[in-house]
Amino acid sequence: MKIVVCLKQVPDTTEIKIDPVKGTLIREGVPSIINPDDKAGLEAALTMKDKHGAEVIVLSMGPMQAEEALREALAMGADRAILLSDFKFAGADTLATSTALSYALKQLDYDFVITGRQAIDGDTAQVGPELAEFLDLPQITYAAGIDYKGDGVFHVTRKVEDRSYVLKVKAPFVMTVLSDMNKPRYMSVPGIIEAYREKKIDLWTADTIKADPARLGLKGSPTKVKESFAKALKQPGQLYEVDPQEATKIILDKLLEKFVL
Amino acid sequence: MGFEMTKEMIAFQKMLKAFVENEVKPFAQETDEEEKFPVEIAKKMGDLGFYKIVLPKEYGGAGGNYQMYSLAVSEVAKACATSSTVLSAHVSLCMAPIYENGTEEQKRKYLPKLATGEWLGAFGLTEPNAGSDAAGQQTFAVLDGDEWVLNGSKIFITNAGYAHVYIIFAMTNKSLGLKGISAFIVEDGTPGFTIGKKELKMGIRGSSTCELIFENCRIPKDNILGQEGKGFVIAMKTLDGGRVGIASQALGIAQGALEETIKYTKERKQFKKTIASFQNTQFRIADLFTRVEAARLLVEDAAIAKETKRKDLSMRAAMAKLYAAETAMEVTTKCVQMFGGYGYTREYPVERMMRDAKITEIYEGTSEVQRMVIAGSVLR
């Protein structure tokens, strides 16, 4: 079995700096982590490897420093790491990102592809589904579990707000996973030593993946960022335990106070 | 003397911090209060390869280095000194002497299982009348056909009762004094070998510290470790390495206490200001932080000396242990003071850290013994 896990290195902070001109994220100087949903995807792949035997390939598009995230994935137990890095990829929105990733995936053999549901720095949840479209593969989003009994059919639990479904799917397919599906393992001591001393990271450029340059990076990104902002902390609401008559008065007063009425 | 971290070390520290935060710290208080041997933590450390760090791959190790080992002991000790004692005693006092002195057969038999943590290790040198004066050994071993017969007892043995492999020192020829001591490998369950009284301690209370009793305990002839009569040399060399571990532990305790205190002084308000805004607090923190950093440099230097097999390892390890242990004691005592009344309660971890710190000035050679070692090198 071969599994490709797409992962993204994201800034480990809620206070992200934004380039005021381009409207894109400034990653330099901010501590980075593997995006939590993607890390759960890696854990799901590694669990599959433990149980059934699999080659786990991690694939990331990003600047050279994303190598650190890939080394972490190798130290956790991934077998091979590929970094898509080229100035031609810079400034990519979700469409250009999934385009580049799909070109890369066309160079690889796999049974299925795992991506995180969404990245904490963008919250779009678009790359996984777009990837499935470009690859013309069935997709299962919001996966919370995957089970395999060795018969060529994967049982994927899909979790939505108030219910979950178990879907049967045959390879190849794409699934996007939720961070709460598992508790990712730690890097191990031998894993770290191998990842840093023995394993190499394959560096792929736009040429390697034979992609159309017009569809990559800023050029291939139709998204225009209108405004970027850090999420403000919401204050908890006020709770009144009063009778309906008094409640009506409180609501009216509040609406008057805020000039709604 | 620049110790810039490699990318590998940065990743390793990131893993250690996450592991300690989630798997060690939440259990540190109950480990102490209930005097509970941290079985789960010991297993998890084994699963992640903590015991493999310095061991070469051919024996099931990870092929890392002593700087990584030292960092692992320190990071664990920041949250739970007991757990770092388990790690340090297992690796430095049992695995290291087998790796450094064992026959190929002994290495193949013991090291892979010790490396995974399937077996824990211990080291038995101290006796009621042979502490700092190791030459006073009264445990003796006599060769009887194809077996050594051990009689005597050991005290204050770390990991006792939980270990499977014990490195035991015994007189094989009393008339030769220090040159009449030999080292042996004794496995748990060997008839005639029993665990005696468990010590009730001030600190590292989850660590198991017991008496070992040998009554006509027969072990195979091949279980002698190193040459007959070389036991004292093996013990001293083992302790040189062990002191790198204890120095790292002491450093970790000091760092852990200081981290807790820095956090506390920024939150705790008196006279309408955080106590961190008082110059008295600032100067104290500055002094303690400087002292901890000085200790860290000595500890890293000792780890490098062990890794590179420097000839002056004895002295360097002794300096690191002496300074780090006294730093741990000073820092934790002052941290309790900065916490005030709360520091004296068991609600905060600094009182435990202060109790834990004390052992680092005593075991694997007291601070006085370290001074003897250092002076012996300097005045030679």
- CA–CA distance, B257 with B248 (Å, rounded to integer): 14
What's the mean pLDDT in B245-260? 98
Strand partners, A9: A34
- CA–CA distance, B255 with B349 (Å, rounded to integer): 13
- CA–CA distance, A230 with A183 (Å, rounded to integer): 27
What residues of A are in contact with residue B49 (Cβ under 8 Å)?
188-191
Q: Is the pLDDT of residue A225 over 90?
A: no
Q: What is the dihedral of CA B200, B204, B205, B207, to 10 degrees?
A: -90
Q: Is the pLDDT of residue B2 over 60?
A: no
Q: Rg for chain B (alpha carbons), in Å?
A: 21
How many Cα atoms within 13 Å fall on the side-chain side of residue B125?
27
What's the mean pLDDT in B145-162? 97
Q: What is the pLDDT of residue B1?
A: 46
Closest chain A residue by Cα to residue B9? A192
A64 touches chain B (CB under 8 A): no
Contact A193 B63 (CB under 8 A): yes
Residues sharing a CB contact under 8 Å with residue A205, sequence separation 6 or more, in sequence order: A84, A85, A86, A88
Strand partners, A83: A60, A203
Pick the CATH number of A2-215 from 3.50.50.60, 3.40.50.620, 3.40.190.10, 3.40.50.11060: 3.40.50.620
Mean pLDDT over all residues of chain B? 96
Of the residues B20, B48, B67, the best mutation for testing chain A's interface (the one with the most A CB atoms within 10 Å of its CB) is B48
Closest chain A residue by Cα to residue B68? A189
What residue type is B298 in one-letter code?
L
What residue type is A16 in one-letter code?
I
Q: What is the dihedral of CA B102, B108, B112, B115, to 10 degrees?
A: 10
Using alpha carbons, list the distances in angstroms from residue B44 to A246, B20, B24, B83.
Answer: 57, 11, 10, 11
Instruction: Give the residue from A198, A176, A162 showing the smallest Cα distance to A71.
Output: A198
Range from A37-51, A84-98, B178-192 carrying the lowest mean pLDDT: A84-98
Secondary structure of residue B265 in the 3-state scheme: helix
Indicate which residues of B carry an active-site annotation: 364
Strand partners, A164: A159
> Model confidence over B80-118: pLDDT tens digits?
999 999 999 999 999 999 999 999 999 999 999 999 999
Angle (nearest 5°) at CA B42 between B40 and B44: 70
B81 touches chain A (CB under 8 A): no
- CA–CA distance, B12 with A178 (Å, rounded to integer): 26
Q: What is the pLDDT of residue A11?
A: 85
B12 touches chain A (CB under 8 A): yes
Burial tier of B116 (Cβ tally within 10 Å: 0-12, 13-18, 19+)? middle
- CA–CA distance, B379 with A60 (Å, rounded to integer): 59
- CB burial of B31-46 (b: ≥16 within 10 Å; e: otherwise) equals bbeebebbeebbebbb
Strand partners, B150: B141, B217
Contact B48 A186 (CB under 8 A): yes
Q: How far is A194 from chain B (nearest CA, A)?
A: 9
Q: Check if the beta carbon of residue A35 is closer than 8 Å to that of residue A97.
A: no
What residues of B are in contact with residue A184 (Cβ under 8 Å)?
none
Q: Is the pLDDT of residue A229 over 80?
A: no
CB pairs under 8 A between A and B: 48
Q: How far is B108 from chain A (nearest CA, A)?
A: 19
- CB burial of A227-256 (b: ≥16 within 10 Å; e: otherwise) equals eeeeeeeeeeeeeeeeeeeeeeeeeeeeee
Contact B11 A191 (CB under 8 A): no
- CA–CA distance, A75 with A191 (Å, rounded to integer): 4
Q: What is the pLDDT of residue A184?
A: 97
Q: What is the pLDDT of residue B109?
A: 98
Contact A71 B49 (CB under 8 A): no
Q: What is the pLDDT of residue A15?
A: 52
Q: How far is B7 from chain A (nearest CA, A)?
A: 8
Q: What is the pLDDT of residue A233?
A: 59
What's the mean pLDDT in B329-335? 98
What residue type is B68 in one-letter code?
M
Q: Check if the beta carbon of residue A7 is closer than 8 Å to that of residue A42.
A: yes
Q: What is the dihedral of CA B215, B217, B223, B229, to 10 degrees?
A: 30
What's the farthest any 2 CA atoms get from each other in chain A?
73
Contact A71 B7 (CB under 8 A): yes
Contact B7 A192 (CB under 8 A): no
What residue type is A260 in one-letter code?
V
> Model confidence over A157-200: pLDDT tens digits?
999 888 999 999 999 999 999 999 999 999 999 999 999 999 99
- CA–CA distance, B243 with B256 (Å, rounded to integer): 19
> Model confidence over A85-120: pLDDT tens digits?
999 998 888 899 999 999 999 999 999 999 999 888
Secondary structure of residue B158 in the 3-state scheme: strand
What DSSP state is assigned to residue B92? I
Residue B79 — pLDDT band, cuts 50, 70, 90? Answer: very high
Q: Which contiguous run of DSSP H or E holds residue B156?
A: strand B147-158
Higher pLDDT, A23 or A84: A84
Q: Is the pLDDT of residue A237 over 90?
A: no
> Model confidence over B187-231: pLDDT tens digits?
999 999 999 999 999 999 999 999 999 999 999 999 999 999 999
Contact A187 B6 (CB under 8 A): no
